[in-house]
A and B are shown apart, each in its own frame.
Chain A
């Protein structure tokens, strides 16, 4: 436990801006799970997700003077992570269909669940199927699912983040959900 542990995100941002890099380290440690998991859901690869998380924090550090300290930091970081991951996805080769193993992904990491073997097995199976289905979507649809379901942004906020129209968000989100639902129904008979 460091002297920064009990400080708020806003205080840590202010200390970082004042030149205290240890305060920024505390921010990285506090939010690395959210940022890494955002990247991992979009990329399906631990090495890429770790690189993306590092890139996200470095970009956030450079842009920290634009951040309002009374606003929540985590959503801001996760949105940067989603954008960095989306840029990375666009540079990748096209993904494959829902029936194949998505390009650039690796066997998906399974969280360590507690006891209750039956529940654990079912939960793990649903998680695996959902991650696999998300990774098989085209990058733009994948990002929209991330922003809507995991970052909980409104349609207008998604449109603003991705620089597309709200109508376009609705269309892409609808298609993505239809594809996901179809895949999940086939995989685990939801």
Chain B
């Protein structure tokens, strides 16, 4: 195929070929086309030269002293940022400690005795404290406490209160760990927030 009119649409393919953005199948097909098409080979060579101009663009002289002086004169205090840095660790430690305190109560079967005014379930304090999960978690815990405290037989769910609170504690721990360590968006170095930074 050497007719340039047939190859008109290949310009975008050539861009994507040089950008390494073609799929393996597209790449193979395009290489096969290149082997037969002089027009596209010529266009590819031209495009490589065009792209080389970007790489060859020289830096202009930089007013480093001016930039540095301007930045240093406007730097805010670092103190609050140091606190922010340790806050997730502190949150996680406190959360895990509170959950650990909850588990003996659950395993000793004391969950059975919980009732609404008895806000002694430490996970509820914690979940309210971080103000992330507080509404749904608070409702869930209060609702489950009411159900468990006033229902003699757990026919609704057909599970024991100990099992129910154990599941809640495990899910709560998993949530805390994943949210504080793995899924915290602040840990990402990629520039996800576009122009807001």
Contacts and interface: CB of A to CB of B under 8 A. Distances in A.
Nearest to B84: A65
B117 interface: no
A138 B195 CA distance: 17
Contacts of B78: 16-19, 21
Contact of B74 (A37, A58, A71, A155): A58
A79 B71 contact: no
Interface stretch (B59-67, B92-100, B119-127, B162-170): B59-67
A111 B81 contact: no
B54 A130 contact: yes
Contact of A65 (B50, B54, B61, B81): B81
Contacts of B15: 173-174, 177
A111 B61 contact: yes
A116 to B, nearest CB: 14
A25 B67 CA distance: 10
Given A80-B191, A160-B192, A150 B58 contact: no
B188 A32 contact: no
Tier of interface size on chain B: 35 or more
Contacts of A53: 67
A190 to B, nearest CB: 7
Nearest to A57: B71
A53 B74 CA distance: 13
B48 to A, nearest CB: 12
A94 to B, nearest CB: 19
Contacts of A155: 19, 21
B152 interface: no
Contact of A66 (B12, B58, B186): B186
A109 interface: yes
Interface in A81-114: 83-84, 86-87, 109-113
